[in-house]
């Protein structure tokens, strides 16, 4: 499923959002802050960990999310793609 979504991203078929320019572009802290902001819109009590891969000039990040104690056994994956473009960062959320 991920590769299908990634191909859609490459061909411009995914929703894109522009992020403001930052001094430390694509740092781990920047990515975690962006992911946390996105996940807080969907979850109340959650924890997550990230795994990232750099492919050419694109960083693909998988966030594994665990919700409150009732759903602690299951985790869900959320995919994000980041690309540096002329002093700013473009991001895509792949569901």
Taking residues 18-22, what's their average pLDDT?
Answer: 41
pLDDT classification of 69: cutoffs 50, 70, 90: low
pLDDT for 71 equals 54
Q: Specify the 3-state DSSP secondary structure of 3.
A: helix
Question: Any idea what the Cα angle at residue 74 is, between residues 52 and 54, rounded to 5°?
Answer: 5
Token reading at 27: 């740092």
pLDDT for 88 equals 80
Residue 26's Cβ-side half-sphere holds a number of Cα atoms within 13 Å equal to 20
Domains and CATH numbers, the chain: 2-94 (3.10.450)
Q: Does residue 40 register a pLDDT over 50?
A: yes
Strand ordering across the sheet containing 58-67: 16-19, 88-94, 76-85, 58-67, 46-55
């Amino acid at each position: 499923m991920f590769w299908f979504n990634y191909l859609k991203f490459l061909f411009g078929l995914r929703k894109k959002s522009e992020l403001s320019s930052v001094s430390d572009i694509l740092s781990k802290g920047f990515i975690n802050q962006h992911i946390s902001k996105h996940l807080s819109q969907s979850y109340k009590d959650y924890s997550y960990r990230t795994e990232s891969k750099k492919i050419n000039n694109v960083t693909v990040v998988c966030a594994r999310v665990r919700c409150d104690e009732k759903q602690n056994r299951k985790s869900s994956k959320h995919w994000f793609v980041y690309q540096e473009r002329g002093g700013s960062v473009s991001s895509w959320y792949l569901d």
